[in-house]
């Protein structure tokens, strides 16, 4: 559990009786950490009051199925501790930030389940490196959010605990797999949230919920404490209303980590201070994406308007060819399912998590526990991954997909040698109805624009840029070269303000 002063139940009730009615009536719908910290400084609100406000919003919106666990008493205790630090002038950079986390990121002393039955009752023995670094700067964790099981999905309908509903329209999906985290921020139940992005699982929900969603360069944030889906693709990243808050969260989480050999040792830039300083960028938009027949006409029209606006502002915006669009999704799913089939082999029902009550021996424990514990989509991907790695098919599928991945990476780097940034749509359309897509292949194609960044390993961010005639938001995706998050975020700040 998070260390901090212990508060008796009666004391908490006393606090609530004093300020809860007033704060629920007057609490602002905060959109940035700077606004929260300004009100904390001016005495308009306290962290304790802030936490109560978010907890009440969570309680009022439970029908959205956003949280798997709410850290209510712990968040209250933490808030009192940070209020004391604020008075003493010793508070960290994230004092006042209430953060939700995806249910595949470990927090010591709390259950973590990747929204799967197979991890039933499992409690983490340690915290993820990203969480440890955020706590050191006085973030307040509000709870863990529902997600697609083992981060496998694009709609948050694959959770073993039911789908998350989009708070902007509960009949629609919030996107996946980090849909619960996106929904928590969009619903005002947290100021920001963490998700994981393997093929668009932060950026797609951000687009569907009208948020900023950032996937850093592969290896920029340690994966220690993140339950693996596909280890050469997964990255932790933030959701927020502003680029500034995502930049600060990245700055604090990023950096080398002795627990993760894939975490980069490159110095961490001051992302929170990144700005354009009047710079005019050379920008490429991928013609094959913008002219794709599956792209919604309204989104296409808005993108073209944005391109012209950027030209009018003095930037260079030119079309670039990327003729490998049709290979993106197949290569991605061959490689990620192969890695998933290996990573998920550890969930056996023997040492921890769910064990079938009808198991009688070692073999039946393995077979029954995995058959009953994993959901249909997870089993589909495990079987697909096992197939592409099997003798006789390894070269035909896995080896060939790795070659395609290399070609995608090479072409992306070629474009970024001549341009500062790449612009694309984030998603082909806006959020769709829950239950509307039943065909797995059709669902996989929802990732068509986002898997590119993961295959190439480059950073990407989705910025909200418009509202469709159906009333739902959508975003534009910005990519930069490896470890050029400072440039990416500086440009995105200007885009987010327009």
Catalytic residues: 102, 177, 201
Q: What angle do CA 94, 98, 99 make, to 5 degrees?
A: 95
User: How many CB atoms lie under 10 A from the CB of residue 91?
Assistant: 20
SS (H, E, C) the chain: CCCCCCCCHHHHHHHHHHHHHHHHHHCCCCCCHHHHHHHHHHCCCCHHHHHHHHHHHHHHCHHHCCEEEECHHHHHHHHHHHHHHHHHCCCCCCCCCEEEEECCECCCCCECCCCCHHHCCCECCCCCHHHHHHHHCCCEEEEEECCCHHHCCCCCCCCCCCCCCECCECCECCCCCCHHHHHHHHCCCCCEEEEEECCCCCHHHHHHHCCEEEECCCCCECCCCECCCCCCCCEEEEEECCHHHHHHHHHHHECCECCECCCCCCCCCCHHHCCCCCCCCEEEEEHHHHCCCCCCHHHHHHHHHHHHHHHHCCCEEEEECCCCHHHHHHHHHHHHHHHHHHHHHHCCCCCCCCCCCCCCCHHHHHHHHHHHHCCHHHHHHHHHHHHHCCCCCHHHHHHHHHHHHHHHHHHHHHHHHHCCEEEEECCCCCCCECCCCCCHHHHHHHHCCCHHHHHHCCCEEEEEEEECCCCCEEEEEEECCCCCHHHHHHHHHHHHHC
Question: Within 13 Å and on the Cβ side, how many CA atoms surround 54?
Answer: 35
CA 455 from centroid of its chain's CA atoms: 17
CA 343 from centroid of its chain's CA atoms: 20
**Nearest residue to 166 (alpha-carbon basis) of 383, 483, 446, 471:** 471
Question: What's the token pair of residue 15?
Answer: 């606090």
**Do residues 284 and 418 lie in contact, with contact meaning Cβ atoms separated by under 8 Å?**
yes
């Amino acid at each position: 559990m998070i260390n901090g002063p212990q508060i008796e139940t009666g004391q908490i009730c006393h606090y609530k009786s004093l300020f809860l009615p007033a704060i629920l009536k007057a609490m602002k719908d905060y959109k940035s950490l700077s606004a929260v910290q300004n009100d904390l400084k001016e005495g308009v609100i306290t962290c304790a009051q802030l936490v109560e406000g978010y907890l009440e919003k969570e309680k009022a919106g439970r029908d959205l199925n956003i949280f798997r666990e709410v850290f209510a008493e712990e968040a209250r205790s933490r808030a009192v501790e940070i209020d004391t630090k604020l008075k003493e002038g010793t508070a960290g950079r994230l004092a006042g930030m209430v953060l939700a986390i995806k249910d595949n990121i470990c927090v010591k002393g709390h259950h973590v389940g990747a929204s799967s039955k197979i991890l039933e009752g499992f409690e983490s023995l340690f915290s993820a490196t990203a969480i440890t670094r955020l706590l050191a700067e006085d973030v307040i964790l509000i709870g863990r959010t529902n997600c697609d099981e083992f981060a496998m999905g694009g709609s948050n309908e694959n959770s073993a605990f039911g789908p998350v509903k989009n708070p902007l329209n509960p009949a629609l999906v919030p996107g996946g797999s980090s849909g619960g985290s996106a929904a928590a921020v969009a619903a005002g139940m947290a100021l920001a949230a963490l998700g994981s992005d393997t093929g668009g699982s932060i950026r797609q929900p951000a687009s569907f919920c009208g948020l900023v969603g950032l996937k850093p360069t592969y290896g920029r944030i340690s994966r220690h404490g993140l339950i693996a889906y596909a280890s050469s693709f997964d990255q932790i990243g933030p959701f927020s209303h502003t680029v500034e808050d995502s930049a600060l969260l990245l700055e604090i989480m990023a950096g080398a980590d002795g627990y993760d050999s894939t975490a980069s040792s490159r110095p961490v830039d001051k992302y929170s201070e990144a700005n354009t300083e009047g710079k005019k960028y050379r920008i490429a938009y991928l013609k094959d994406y913008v002219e794709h027949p599956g792209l919604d006409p309204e989104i296409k029209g808005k993108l073209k308007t944005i391109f012209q606006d950027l030209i009018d502002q003095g930037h260079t915006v030119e079309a670039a060819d990327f003729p490998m669009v049709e290979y993106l999704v197949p290569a991605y799913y061959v490689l990620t399912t192969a890695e998933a089939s290996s990573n998920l082999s550890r969930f056996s029902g023997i040492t921890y998590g769910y064990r079938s009550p009808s198991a009688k021996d070692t073999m039946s424990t393995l077979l029954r526990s995995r058959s009953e514990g994993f959901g249909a989509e997870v089993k589909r991907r495990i079987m697909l991954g096992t197939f592409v790695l099997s003798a006789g098919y390894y070269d035909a599928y896995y080896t060939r997909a790795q070659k395609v991945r290399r070609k995608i990476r090479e072409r992306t780097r070629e474009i970024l040698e001549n341009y500062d940034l790449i612009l694309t749509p984030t998603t082909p359309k806006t959020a769709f109805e829950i239950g509307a897509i039943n065909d797995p292949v059709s669902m996989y194609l929802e990732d068509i624009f986002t898997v590119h960044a993961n295959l190439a390993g480059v950073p990407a961010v989705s910025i909200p840029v418009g509202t469709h005639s159906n009333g739902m938001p959508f975003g534009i995706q910005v990519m930069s070269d490896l470890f050029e998050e400072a440039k990416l975020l500086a440009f995105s700040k200007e885009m987010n303000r327009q």
